[in-house]
Chain A
Amino acid sequence: MQQGGGSETEVTWEDQQNINKFGRLNNRLHELHDEIKIAKSFPEKHRLPPLKPPIPTASPLQTTPPYPPPVRHIPAAQREANDNLEDASNELILTDEEVVRFQIGEVFAHVPKDEVESRIEQMQEATSQKLEKLEEEKKSVVAQMSELKKILYGKFGESINLEED
């Protein structure tokens, strides 16, 4: 915070509380910013395309037709969440496999296509709701901050600096 040039303006407890509140809101704003970024880039839950050639044995495990050749490798760098889910659902539509390898926790479980579809839809719902809530909170924080700015600048004028460095 800037140091004033030896001014006499007294700081009351109420002023101090306003300053504190502004500081808190500012911090919250930064956190929200990051959280919104993460919510928009929520990584996991995308289908892993087959990584090895089909097992030639006639094992009972092989209930699905032999995999298509390794296709569309989804790069690990691609981490756009709602976008990730979008891509996943697009790929789902494009694929003609019946069973999709769906990431649950640390492993990829073989899940029938329909179930994968509904799961992805559910996740998209949850993520967009979360995103909405975060955006709303951000709006309210910004509004409160500008209110406080008006009050504090009104009282202290030059003696206080409330801008981002």
Chain B
Amino acid sequence: RRGIPGAQFVEDVQTYLTQLGLDVNSALAFLQERLQQYKVVEMKLLAQQRELQAKIPDIEKCLEVVATLQAKKGTGEELIADFEVSEGIYSRASIEETDSVCLWLGANVMLEYSLEEASALLQKNLDNARASLEVLVADLLFLRDQTTITQVTIARVYNWDVHQRRTQQVAATTIAQE
């Protein structure tokens, strides 16, 4: 699923080992490696999630500004705003009634849009960002499940091995005693 290998659920450790054709240590190594891979993918997804979570409030803020400008449009008043020129230094701006805004699109590109178009564009971006975030969260959940399954499998293989050794030891001592 989306480049994340699924973790195979193990019904019975013995069958699993014979099926893989590996001895216990190699199996454990393989599972550990899988776990590491999962960790790497998780880090990547988490970083993407954080990025999106920062972008969304930004888009919401822009939408609010456009909405305020739209609201002011009917009244004929101008909007007076204080904005930051530099840290701790503010300047006053008088924004007259306008029909358009400029939107920063990234990559040193800024386009002028009418208020309605700007609002629609921002809304679309917001919806896209939210949808991507949802998909990302679903991926993360799937990933975590695979990680848990792998961890449990590692524990079970290890336990099985310990159990095997114990039974072998018991059998060995019993034979020795006879």
| Chain A residues packing against B (C-beta within 8 Å) | 1-8, 10-13, 16, 19-20, 23-24, 27, 48, 51-52, 61, 101, 104-110
- Minimum C-beta distance from A139 to chain B (A): 21
**Which residues of chain B come closer than 8 Å to A48, judged between CB atoms?**
82, 90
Whether B80 sits at the interface, judged by CB under 8 Å, is yes
Cα separation A10 to B79 with both chains bound (whole Å): 70
> Does B145 lie within 8 Å of A108, measured CB to CB?
no
- Minimum C-beta distance from A109 to chain B (A): 4
> Does A24 lie within 8 Å of B158, measured CB to CB?
no
> Does B144 lie within 8 Å of A5, measured CB to CB?
no
| B83 interface neighbour in A7, A8, A10, A106, Cβ under 8 Å | A106
Q: A61-B94, A104-B65 are in contact. Are A20 and B145 (CB under 8 A)?
A: yes
- Minimum C-beta distance from B59 to chain A (A): 11
Interface segment out of the listed B19-27, B108-116, B126-134, B149-157: B149-157
Residue of A nearest to B141 (CB): A24
Whether B148 sits at the interface, judged by CB under 8 Å, is yes
Q: List 5 A-B contacts (CB under 8 A).
A: A3-B158, A10-B12, A16-B9, A105-B61, A105-B65
Cα separation A160 to B68 with both chains bound (whole Å): 56
> Does B159 lie within 8 Å of A107, measured CB to CB?
no
- Minimum C-beta distance from A77 to chain B (A): 15
Residue of B nearest to A4 (CB): B159
Residue of A nearest to B65 (CB): A105
Q: How large is the interface on B (under 10, 10 to 19, 20 to 34, 35 or more residues)?
A: 20 to 34
- Minimum C-beta distance from B70 to chain A (A): 12
Cα separation A1 to B148 with both chains bound (whole Å): 9
Cα separation A52 to B82 with both chains bound (whole Å): 11
Cα separation A101 to B90 with both chains bound (whole Å): 12
> Does A11 lie within 8 Å of B152, measured CB to CB?
yes
> Does B79 lie within 8 Å of A110, measured CB to CB?
yes
> Does B148 lie within 8 Å of A19, measured CB to CB?
yes
Whether B47 sits at the interface, judged by CB under 8 Å, is no
**Which residues of chain B come closer than 8 Å to A8, judged between CB atoms?**
163
- Minimum C-beta distance from A111 to chain B (A): 9
Cα separation A101 to B11 with both chains bound (whole Å): 65
Residue-by-residue, is B1-42 near A (CB-CB < 8 Å gives 1, otherwise 0)?
000000001111000000000000000000000000000000
Beyond contacts A4-B159, A107-B81, A107-B84: 18 other A-B pairs, Cβ-Cβ < 8 A, are A3-B158, A4-B155, A6-B162, A6-B166, A12-B11, A13-B11, A19-B148, A20-B145, A23-B144, A24-B145, A51-B90, A61-B92, A105-B61, A108-B81, A108-B83, A109-B80, A110-B81, A110-B82
- Minimum C-beta distance from A108 to chain B (A): 4
Residue-by-residue, is B56-98 near A (CB-CB < 8 Å gives 1, otherwise 0)?
0000011011001000000000011111100010101110000
Q: A6-B166, A27-B144 are in contact. Are A108 and B155 (CB under 8 A)?
A: no
> Does B144 lie within 8 Å of A105, measured CB to CB?
no
